[in-house]
Structure 1
Amino acid sequence: MDPRYQSSDSAFDNRSFQPEDLDGALGGSALEQRASRWVQTPGGRFPAESVYFVGNDDERAFTLDPNAKSAFTINERSVQPTPDDSPRHSVDLEKQNDKNHQSSLDLHRKDASQPKLPFGQRLRHFTWAWYTLTMSTGGVATLISIQPHQFPGLITIGAIFYILNLFFFAIVCGFMVLRFTKFPGAFKDSLCHEREGLFFPTFWLSVATIITGTQKYVIVMYESNDSMRGWMLTSMSIAFWAYVVCTFAVAVIQYSFLFVGHTYLLTKFMPSWLLPIFPVMLAGTIASVIAADQPLQSRFPILVAGLGCQGLGFTVSIIMYAHYIGRLMQVGLPNREHRGAMFIGVGPPSFTCLAFIGMANALPQDFDLQRDGLMDGHLLRTMALVSAIFLWVLAMWFFMIAIIGVLHSRPKDFHLGWWAMVFPNTGFVIATISIGNALQDEVIRYVGNALTICIVCMWAFVLYHNIRAVIVSEIMYPGRDEDVED
């Protein structure tokens, strides 16, 4: 060390520190100055029962703290084991039954001993969900009308579906009116019901299929110079704007009522929660079908309104998808009797896909938004195609998830939710055909033809079970329909 910084009364050397130095400083042996120590013992029968006591020093000694609390002992025999059932197991009854190899009462199944009721009493349970029949039939009619490979008589088959849809719609409306007149207060109760009220928008979805079917099977029958054609086109324009106003009001009012009138658990999320936004979203689909034949002065407002409504519906659906996926991750798939409703998730991306392509194709060939050659019809059609392919893959993903869910545990009894296996999938097939036409790809077009056959077969399958369910009282019976809490 530098002598300039060394104290005159201190000396440093390189020898190591010895205990005797501490002895001299403390006036005695440092080892003799140790106080009593707390020594940790190995413990008794259970390791967690280790305690501390005053004993001899060893390498595990701890200095006594006079302010320390008394020894803390854990008796492991009194500790309950961690439960091995997760929230998923505690909610999904099917998983519990599979685990315990026990069968429990399934509230969704028909009771073989249930008594027969007269039709008048069963009419009380004729719910809004019956419009899923008409919207699916109308969707099949529209699907048949846009087939890329046609044969003689195909349009006639599609026209039969269109007329059948009108017939079913009239029958369902008649029974609904009869129900509401026979049972006073049933109309208000049906709209306010936490489950049946969600199916009220299916009425407007049926109206949407009637509008598109009228365009495909009625308007096209008139020549361009026919005086009736101009009147029919004006009627279609009026119907479109009336539909937009009504469905937007439904989306606002019904969701507002659901927010304040009911409490839904996210662990019980069902795709039917998307239904209130579905009708206004299909305004874009209607615009893509009817706009091309409208005069220019009414075509552009229809396209703008259709694009806005389609964006509204799809955006709300995307928000709902987050809760839907979260529910599937947390508590698993829905009850097997309602897994057909999972196909509702296929609808928003599918209908948005076909709406983009249809509305872009409805633009005039010489369309130029700013008259500068930048945002012209060709660019918009390309952007629509790219966006459609993006959305089609999302729809395909939801489609496959729904198929796996249904096949994993097939439903035993019929419910009107089975029609969800038809209507949303018609949009998926139409979107597939629209992409094939835009890409001019024959393979995709033939895939669309094959999927159309599957949809028609599924429609016949569900219709058969629907009729059978009415006959054997699986539906339209107390506790068996959408007018009871699920």
Structure 2
Amino acid sequence: MAFQYPPQLDSSSRVPARRVGGIARRIHGWTWQAFPIGMGTGAVYVTMSGLHDRSQTLRTVETVFFFINIALFILNVSTLALQAILYPRQAKRLVTDSTKNIFIPLVVLSFATLIIGTINYGVGAGVVERGLIYVLFWIYVSLALFVSFPVLMIWYNKPHDIRTMTPAWAFLIFPMMLVGVVAFNVLRTMDVSDTRAVGVLFVGYFFQGIGFFVTLFYICIYFLRIMMVGFSPLLFMDGHQANGAFVAAGPPGFTALALINLGKRAREILPQHDLVSENAGEIWYAVSILCAIMLFGLAIFLVVFGALPYWFKLHKHLNEILGCWALTFPNVGWIATIGALGDVLNIPGFFELQVFFVIVIAALWLVLFALTITAFRRGLILYAKEEDVIEDTASWRGEKGGA
């Protein structure tokens, strides 16, 4: 009898199969694109809080959405932190990949919705001290700077084709663009005679200007792409990019809202501190309203421009559901501006129009949340392939060949 030495074993018996648990696949597959879910949740209570008449029931609903947003924020931050510890290679990919790192600044935007919610439901109820809100404002400004600039440098380190441009690229500068919105909400908690209010006002104007004009350049590039490729079904905002068309309405909408409310505060703060000139407050307010009306018109145009071809461009696949959350939060600015202009121009019909769009946003949230949960349970989103987890685990442990 002939014997073989060493005995030949089947490959499956030589290397025991490695199984990866569902939690590991979730952690590895989590991305920064999960933050729009929280931002869409924040969009619901932020738009509701801007309504002219709010019942106690509505305030309760807003508070529920606020706590859901807190839970989603904690879930996203903690999961991505675990990913950075357990799968550093995957975490690095999400930071350096120019198609994925544009979503990193969304963590700062999510923090902004939490600050606004804290002001609306914490300060008013006497649960949160007003001094803490001032601290949170400067934390937000610091985060906007320390997140946006490094990601911008990484993103611009590689060339990008204009023919593939989407307004979602402007997410890189969105945190700075939203400083003005956070500022006027913070000023609601401050006494106009407080010298710190002057700093918040000017910082709000300063960063709102930076954010809006840089995002305006992105909008111009967006139209340049349209001029280059036309409405070609193969080249123009097809699939998940169709959702990005609504992002373009965000900067003019939020800037219009910020200008109206910062102008109101300037009307009180500048005369109180004898700044610029005797009539500076009234002049700033009037100019802010004029500019806000023009920007509001631009925002409405961009919404309609993105909505008309939307249904025909969108891929109806659940694995792209995360991109559909762009239908919610970029529209908050111009919807809230409708109510603000209703107050300024004394047009009651604007309040009814605002209620209609708030209902639309709430209905969108319900539909998108249900579809997102369905996609999540089926493993279509935020779920890594087993072999990818094994490969990154082997690399982290210094193993070879994924064994």
Q: What is the TM-score with the length of structure 1 in the denominator?
A: 0.70
Among 366, 374, 378, the residue aligned to 2:279: 374
Judged with a 3 Å threshold, the aligned counterparts in structure 2 of structure 1 residues 431 and 247 are, in CA distance, closer, same or farther, namely same
- Output the CA distance in 1 between the equivalents of 2:141 and 2:28: 31
1:256 aligns with 2:159: no
1:312 corresponds, among 207, 210, 217, to: 210
Q: Distance in 2 between matches of 1:468 and 1:338?
A: 22
Q: Which residue of 1 aligns with 2:180?
A: 284
The answer as to 2:111 corresponding to 1:207 is: yes
Alignment correspondent of 1:436: 342
Distance across 1 between alignment mates of 2:217 and 2:361 = 28
The question of 1:139 aligning with 2:43 is answered yes
**1:386 matched to which residue of 2?**
290
Name the residue aligned to 2:4: none
Percentage of identical aligned residues: 24
1:234 Cα offset (Å): 1.5
Q: Residue 341 of structure 1 corresponds to which residue in structure 2?
A: 244
Superposed displacement of residue 187, structure 1: 2.4
Q: Tell me the CA shift for residue 392 of structure 1.
A: 0.3
Cα deviation for residue 293 of structure 1 reads 2.1
Q: Aligned partners of 2:244 and 2:267: how far apart in 1? A: 39
Q: Please list every run of 5 or more consecutive structure 1 residues that lacks an aligned counterpart in the other structure.
A: 1-115, 223-227, 480-486
Cα distance, 1:373–1:411 mapped onto 2, change above 3 Å: same
Residue matched to 2:171:
275
Aligned to 2:43, what secondary structure does the other structure show?
helix
Of 301, 322, 334 in structure 1, the residue corresponding to residue 199 of structure 2 is 301
1:233 is matched with which residue: 130, 155, 163? 130
- Give the superposition deviation at 1:360: 1.5
Please list, as runs of the form range in 1=range in 2, the aligned pairs for 1:81-480 lying within 5 A after superposition.
118-222=22-126, 232-260=129-157, 262-295=158-191, 296-331=194-229, 332=231, 333-363=236-266, 365=268, 367-368=270-271, 370=275, 372-375=277-280, 377-414=281-318, 415=320, 416-477=322-383
- 1:286 partner amino acid: V
2: CA distance between counterparts of 1:255 and 1:398? 24
Secondary structure of 2:308's counterpart equals: helix
Equivalent position SS for 1:264? coil
The aligned amino acid for 1:329 is: M
Q: TM-score, normalised by structure 2?
A: 0.83
Unaligned runs of 5+ in 2: 1-19, 386-403
Q: Write the letter of the residue equivalent to 1:203.
A: V
For 2:286, give the aligned amino acid.
Answer: T
Matches of 1:272 and 1:239 in 2, distance apart? 26
Q: Compute the RMSD of aligned alpha carbons.
A: 2.0
TM-superposed deviation, 1:312: 0.3
SS in 2 for 1:312: helix
State the Cα distance separating 1:405 from its structure 2 match: 2.3
Q: CA deviation at 1:248?
A: 1.8
What's the secondary structure of 2:156's corresponding residue?
A: helix
Taking a change above 3 Å as real, the CA distance of residues 315 and 187 of structure 1, as seen in their structure-2 partners, is: same
- Which structure: larger Rg? 1
Residues 167 and 248 of structure 2 are in contact (CA less than 8 Å); yes or no, is this contact kept in structure 1? yes
Matches of 1:192 and 1:458 in 2, distance apart?
A: 32
Q: Which of structures 1 and 2 has the larger relative contact order (alpha carbons within 8 angstroms, sep 6+)?
A: 2
In 2, the alpha carbon distance for the partners of 1:344 and 1:197 equals 16
Aligned equivalent of 1:21: none
